[in-house]
C-alpha cells in the first residue's frame, strides 16, 4: 500500500521511524501527471533504497508563466495507482500552503550554471527549483534523490546545490525515457494536438542527425544551423535554443575536445518541448 501524506510533520515522523531502524530513504521529486519517465525513477529508487517517497507538488515558484501553471495536467488518483503498482511507500502531496505558508521568505539561488538555456528563457525558474528541492530534501530527510536526465540542466543545478550547501543527500541522474518514436516523455505532451504529436519526435531525430554530423567532424555551428533550418521547415514554432554545451559546467562547446551535450527547447503550438542528448 502506498500511503498518501500531505503534512510535513507527519512525513517527518514516518521517516524518523524508518531511519531509526537503519533504512536508507530515497526520494523522487515530481510534479505529478506521472508517466513512464517518472516511474523509471521510482524503480531506480526502489532498487537503491529501502524506502521510497515520491513527491507530487506542482511548484508555483518554478513557473514563469501562469497559463502554463494553470494548464499543467493533474491526476492524483491515477498517480497513486501507478505508484502502488511500483511498490512506492509514500506519496507525499503537500498543498501550496504546506510548502509556502504565510510568512515564507527564503529563496535559494544557484549562480552560474542557472544562467544560460532554461535560465535565460524562464527567468526565476531555477530559483523555484532550487528552493523547492531544498525544502523537499529537508522535509523528506532522504539520503538519495533521483532526477531525470530529461531535465539535464536541472540535474546539474541540483547537484551543485547539494554540494554547495553540504546537504546530506546523494543526487542520482537517470536516463531519459522516450516514446517508441523517440519523443522524450513529458507530462506536457498530453497537451499536443494529434498533428503536433506526430511532428514532435522530429526534434529528437534532427538532434541525433546533428550530433552524428558533429561526431563526423562537421563544424558545430554549421551542424546546428542546418538542424535549426530543418526544424523550422518541418513546422515547429519558435526555437528558444539549440546548443552544444560542455557536460562539465555547461559552457558553450565549439568542438568535442570535452564531453558535450546537445540541448534544445522549441515551441510546438502552445507546448514547449525540451530535450537533450550526449554527443
Ligand atoms: P517533472 O514532473 O516534469 O518535474 O519531472 C520530475 C522528474 O522526472 C524530474 O527529475 C525529471 O527530469 C524526470 N523526468 C521527466 N520526464 C522524464 C523522462 N522522459 N525520462 C526520465 N526522467 C524524466
pLDDT band at 219 (very low <50, low <70, confident <90, very high): very high
Average pLDDT score, the chain: 98
* Tens digit of each residue's pLDDT (9 = 90 or more) over 191-208: 999 999 999 999 999 999
pTM of the model: 0.98
Written as nine digits, the cell of 174 is: 537517470
Beta carbons within 8 Å of 138's beta carbon, 6+ residues apart: none
Q: What is the pLDDT of residue 258?
A: 96
From ligand 1's centre to the CA of 20, what distance in Å? 31
> Whose alpha carbon is nearest atom 7 of ligand 1?
30
Query: What residues line ligand 1, using a CB cutoff of 6 Å?
Result: 30-31, 37-38, 40-41, 147-148, 150-151, 174, 176-177, 184-187
Q: What is the mean pLDDT of residues 146-150?
A: 98
Q: What is the mean pLDDT of residues 60-77?
A: 95
pLDDT band at 173 (very low <50, low <70, confident <90, very high): very high
Check: CB of residue 231 under 8 Å from CB of residue 202: yes
Q: What is the pLDDT of residue 141?
A: 98
Q: What is the pLDDT of residue 226?
A: 98
Check: CB of residue 84 under 8 Å from CB of residue 51: no
Residue 136 CA to residue 123 CA, distance in Å, equals 22
Pocket probe mutation, ligand 1, options 26, 31, 37, 52, max atoms within 8 Å of Cβ: 37
Residue 159 CA to residue 194 CA, distance in Å, equals 37
Residue 181 CA to residue 200 CA, distance in Å, equals 9
- Edge to edge, the sheet with strand 51-56 lists 3-5, 90-92, 51-56, 25-30, 144-148, 170-174
Pocket probe mutation, ligand 1, options 151, 190, 276, max atoms within 8 Å of Cβ: 151
Q: What is the pLDDT of residue 182?
A: 98
Establish whether 125 is a catalytic residue: no
Residue 130 CA to residue 140 CA, distance in Å, equals 15
pLDDT band at 253 (very low <50, low <70, confident <90, very high): very high
* Tens digit of each residue's pLDDT (9 = 90 or more) over 29-66: 999 999 999 999 999 999 999 999 999 999 999 999 99
Where would I find the H helices in 111-219? 118-121, 125-140, 152-164, 194-199, 202-215
Q: What is the pLDDT of residue 240?
A: 98
Whole-number percent of the chain with pLDDT over 70: 100
Q: What is the pLDDT of residue 242?
A: 98
Q: What is the pLDDT of residue 68?
A: 93
Amino acid at each position: 500500500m502506498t500511503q498518501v501524506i500531505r503534512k510535513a510533520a507527519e512525513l517527518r515522523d514516518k521517516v524518523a521511524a524508518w531511519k531509526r531502524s537503519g533504512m536508507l530513504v530515497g526520494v523522487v521529486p515530481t510534479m505529478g501527471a506521472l508517466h513512464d519517465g517518472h516511474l523509471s525513477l521510482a524503480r531506480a529508487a526502489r532498487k537503491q533504497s529501502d524506502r521510497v517517497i515520491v513527491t507530487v507538488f506542482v511548484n508555483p515558484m518554478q513557473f514563469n508563466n501562469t497559463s502554463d501553471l494553470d494548464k499543467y495536467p493533474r491526476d492524483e488518483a491515477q498517480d497513486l495507482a501507478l505508484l502502488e503498482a511500483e511498490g512506492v511507500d509514500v506519496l507525499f502531496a503537500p498543498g501550496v500552503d504546506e510548502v509556502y505558508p504565510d510568512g515564507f521568505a527564503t529563496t535559494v539561488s544557484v549562480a552560474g550554471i542557472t544562467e544560460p538555456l532554461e535560465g535565460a528563457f524562464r527567468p526565476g525558474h531555477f530559483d523555484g527549483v532550487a528552493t523547492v528541492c531544498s525544502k523537499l530534501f529537508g522535509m523528506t530527510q532522504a539520503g538519495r534523490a533521483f532526477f531525470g536526465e530529461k531535465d539535464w540542466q536541472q540535474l546539474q543545478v541540483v547537484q551543485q546545490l547539494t554540494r554547495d550547501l553540504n546537504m546530506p543527500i546523494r543526487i542520482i541522474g537517470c536516463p531519459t525515457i522516450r516514446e517508441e518514436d523517440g519523443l522524450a516523455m513529458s507530462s506536457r505532451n498530453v497537451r499536443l494536438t494529434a498533428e503536433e504529436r506526430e511532428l514532435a519526435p522530429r526534434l529528437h531525430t534532427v538532434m541525433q542527425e546533428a550530433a552524428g554530423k558533429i561526431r563526423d567532424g562537421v563544424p558545430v555551428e554549421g551542424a546546428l544551423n542546418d538542424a535549426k533550418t530543418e526544424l523550422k521547415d518541418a513546422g515547429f514554432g519558435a526555437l528558444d535554443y539549440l546548443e552544444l554545451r560542455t557536460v562539465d559546467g555547461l559552457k558553450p562547446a565549439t568542438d568535442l575536445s570535452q564531453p558535450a551535450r546537445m540541448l534544445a527547447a522549441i515551441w510546438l503550438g502552445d507546448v514547449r518541448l525540451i530535450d537533450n542528448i550526449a554527443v
